[in-house]
Structure 1
Amino acid sequence: MIRSETIDAYLARLASREPTPGGGAAAALHAAQGAALVAMVARYTTGPKYEQHDELVRRIISASDSLVIEALGLADADESAFQGVIDAYRLPSGTDELRAARTTSIQEALILAAQTPAQLIRLAGTIVELATELFEVANATVISDVAAAADAARAAATTARVNIDINVVAIKDVAARSRLADQTDGLEEKVVLAADSLMGRVRGRILG
């Protein structure tokens, strides 16, 4: 599992000539880092100086810590789901019956594989929302990490979108494709716009 690996071990697997882990897992780790950065900035925004914002900051810490765990879970889920697609393509197809069973398995695996990045885009949006809330009150000495969090979440969302696209084009079930579109269309663009806006605000605050 990715969550229990060392960074060196994970990167070695990512760089190897193996199909998993891949971009989907990397996207989830972008999100995990973004959430962790939000939590870090929030923890630096505690104490007497920030007492009036204590409720907000503690809520953000709790939410961000939970998102780190959720994102790591999605990294593992993405690796598992993509392995399912690979396994389906490897099924035997020597008879009409086997070919039909293989096709069904492939389609089911592709639909399942598209679910994880769909969840990840929503999670990335939540990270940017939390970072935006925190920006208003954040400790100025770590304000650049708010931008880093937003950019990590942005990368998670855009990478997840590409992973949805590559699965959707191979899905033959029109209803399933429509459901995926309903779940995800426009979400990634909202995350990107919100992240870019926050990045601009952070830079404006830093540069005056």
Structure 2
Amino acid sequence: MMGNLTIEQFLTALASEAPTPGGGGAAALISAISAALNSMVFNLTVGKKVYESYPDEIKGLIKENLEASKKLIEFFTLYMDKDAEAFSQLMNSYKLPKENESEKNERKAAIENCTKEAAEVPMTVAENVYKLYPIIWTACKYGNRNLISDAGVAAVLVQASLESCILNVKVNLNYLKDIDLKDNMSKKCSDLIVKGEEWKNKIMKFIYENI
């Protein structure tokens, strides 16, 4: 599992001639790092003086967002492997026999299905990393002020991961035959990029005004 590799091992694998991990795995890792940074902000807020001054509603919000961040770390770590699996399956589909019409049709169907999966995996990562934005916003507003720059780094990493995922989606959409799916996923990509940039700008404006 990718998540069990040391940082050095992952970077060595990423830099090697091996096809995986690649850009999709790197994007999932960046997502996990963003969620981890956000968790750190919350963990260094709970129990502190500022935290104790908040009403129960805000305390509950902080704890809820901390748990959400932890779950997203696990989710993105899992998707580092899912991305590698999807790519491997896609490559294997191209190696299927095509000696007769039946085999050719089976191969085409396998390639189409595997291409869909290869596009859907980074799409899922993109949709879930986007969920970090309102969580980071909570960290900026109510988290330990000494760590507001860490929340900012988390936001920058979210957008980097989001755009990285979109690149991986789009490169696979080029090979899909399902026009409706292509159009639907392309629209999702465009919406996420725009909304993500809006969130990032909002968060960074708040941070620079309060840093």
The TM-score normalised by the length of structure 1 is 0.93
Q: In 2, are the aligned partners of 1:121 and 1:188 still within 8 Å (CA)?
A: no
1:126 and 2:131 matched: yes
CA distance in 2, matches of 1:23, 1:61: 27
1:83 and 2:84 matched: no
| Structure 1 runs of 4+ with >6 Å offset | none
* 1:55 pairs with one of 50, 60, 79: 60
Counterpart AA for 1:203: Y
* Cα deviation, residue 141, structure 1: 1.0
Counterpart in the other structure of 1:64: 69
Q: In 2, are the aligned partners of 1:85 and 1:110 still within 8 Å (CA)?
A: yes
Counterpart in the other structure of 2:100: 95
* Cα deviation, residue 199, structure 1: 1.8
Counterpart AA for 1:198: I
- SS of the equivalent of 2:89 reads helix
Give ranges in structure 2 of 5+ residues lacking alignment: none
Q: In 2, are the aligned partners of 1:42 and 1:61 still within 8 Å (CA)?
A: yes
CA distance in 1, matches of 2:106, 2:202: 48
Counterpart AA for 2:51: Y
Give ranges in structure 1 of 5+ residues lacking alignment: none
Q: In 2, are the aligned partners of 1:25 and 1:79 still within 8 Å (CA)?
A: yes
CA distance in 1, matches of 2:37, 2:27: 15
CA distance in 1, matches of 2:175, 2:18: 21
Q: In 2, are the aligned partners of 1:88 and 1:106 still within 8 Å (CA)?
A: yes
- Once the two structures are superposed, residues 34-78 of structure 1 have per-residue CA deviations (whole angstroms, 9 ceiling, x without a partner) of 001111001111223312142121111111001100111111111
* Cα deviation, residue 201, structure 1: 1.9
- Once the two structures are superposed, residues 106-161 of structure 1 have per-residue CA deviations (whole angstroms, 9 ceiling, x without a partner) of 11100011111111111111111100122111211111000011111111100000
- RMSD of Structure 2 on Structure 1 (CA): 1.5
The TM-score normalised by the length of structure 2 is 0.92
Counterpart AA for 2:176: I
Q: In 1, are the aligned partners of 2:50 and 2:144 still within 8 Å (CA)?
A: no
In the TM superposition, what are the counterparts of 1:179-190 in structure 2 within 5 Å?
Answer: 179-181=184-186, 183-190=188-195
CA distance in 1, matches of 2:184, 2:117: 12
Q: In 1, are the aligned partners of 2:32 and 2:77 still within 8 Å (CA)?
A: yes
CA distance in 2, matches of 1:84, 1:42: 39
In the TM superposition, what are the counterparts of 1:9-28 in structure 2 within 5 Å?
Answer: 9-28=9-28
- Once the two structures are superposed, residues 152-176 of structure 1 have per-residue CA deviations (whole angstroms, 9 ceiling, x without a partner) of 1111100000111001011012133
1:135 and 2:136 matched: no
CA distance in 2, matches of 1:102, 1:203: 54
Identical-pair percentage: 28
CA distance in 2, matches of 1:186, 1:129: 16
In 2 relative to 1, CA 200–49 (structure 1 residues): closer, same or farther, beyond 3 Å?
Answer: closer
1:162 and 2:167 matched: yes
